[in-house]
Amino acid sequence: MDATAQEEFADFTRGRWTALTAFAYSLVHDVDRAEELAQEALARLWKVWPKLRDEQPEAYSRRIVVNLAVASGRRRWWTGRAAAGPSEPTAPSDVAADAPAGGAGEAEDRDAMRRALAGLGTRQRVAVVLRYAHGLPETEVAELMGCSVGTAKTYASRGLEALRSVGILGDTAIPGGAA
């Protein structure tokens, strides 16, 4: 890779690290895993940077993070590390700083939502977060997850139902048309 491409990649990395880590955190709700996912995504992006730098490296890096988050969820299940239950999520300081200022009730609500999302299956959590927290259209969620639109809708629907079953959403209508 030539020096110009290396500098462009370094600029991209410096400019997108925080956002990419926050995106990864929204999917996995664990600071260490989010940083690992962002780092791995950038390492994989480095390999294809000369071909991709003029395309959409942001979208490509987000797709890598989604794929890694889903794959890491499967690996955790398979190896049995997740059998002890989800760990208490902690928010990175830069993600927590972006949260709206509010009272203790809002903080408790956010913590309850994080715990409930951590209890979902990986694909359900990813679909719910991409669709409703990030506000992505169903087609983009499906594209990022590498599945059909119908499958993405199913994951999101089942994830919302699971959140309702633990009392997180109640009968709240979700923006974007989900019941």
Same domain, 45 and 114: no
In angstroms, the CA 18 to CA 90 distance is 16
Same domain, 3 and 58: yes
- Calculate the average pLDDT of the chain: 79
Same domain, 67 and 130: no
Same domain, 69 and 150: no
- Enter the pTM of the model: 0.65
**% of the chain with per-residue pLDDT over 70:** 76
Q: How many CB atoms lie within 10 A of CB 24?
A: 29
Q: Considering only 15-19, 85-89, 131-135, which range has the smallest mean pLDDT?
A: 85-89
3-state secondary structure of 2: coil
Longest dimension (CA), the chain: 56
DSSP string, 75-124: HHHHHTGGGG-PPPP---HHHHHHSPP--HHHHHHHHHHHHHHHTS-HHH
Domains held by the chain: number: 2
